[in-house]
Amino acid sequence: MAAAQLALSNARTDGDLSGPLADFGYDTARLDEGWALYQAAAEAQQRQTREYGEQYAASDAFTAAREAAQTEYVRYVKIARIALKQERGAAAKLVLDGPRKRTLAGWLAQARQFYANAQTDAAVLTALAQFGVTPEKLAAGQAQVEGVEGLAAAQKIETGEAQQATQARDAALEVLDGWMEDFLAIARIALEENRQWLEKMGLLVRS
């Protein structure tokens, strides 16, 4: 990108270069065509960088939210196992037995079932209240879980947009590279008699 910018910018603005290049088919209109391709590639590069920044931010937000929700959820599960250790039915309703699911879908299902059933069962609420777990705390924990789902959806959207931006950037660079390959090859011929002209184009000159 930097090499294309240097070569095209100088070719379009430096009178020493524009004349010889025009004699070989690269007049103002054709150079403007190349500059437009460069600008399109630069914009695609900027968008790709921006989209990946947004993806990383969304991923970090999701990870932080899930960790916070998991901490609260696991704490309440541990307390519930103590409070309801003699209540097999309640334990089943809250999915207290076994490990917590590792997949997002599985974890969400377990956490939702725990919070939903804990908040609607008077006996469970009474048992948990003995250990400081109030309905307000359960509602807050449930909100954390729902927030994780929303952030997961946002992360997927940002990931998709970053991938699309990368594909668009790669396509724009491919078009620019093809145009520049011919342009620089002709520039070497058109300007070969003057080392300084070639250097203005960013073309290395063998000594």
Q: Express each pLDDT in 159-170 by its tens digit.
A: 999 999 999 999
Mean pLDDT of the chain: 93
C-beta separation of 55 from 154 below 8 A: no
Could you tell me which residue, 54 or 18, shows the higher pLDDT? Answer: 54
Q: Express each pLDDT in 106-125 by its tens digit.
A: 999 999 999 999 999 999 99
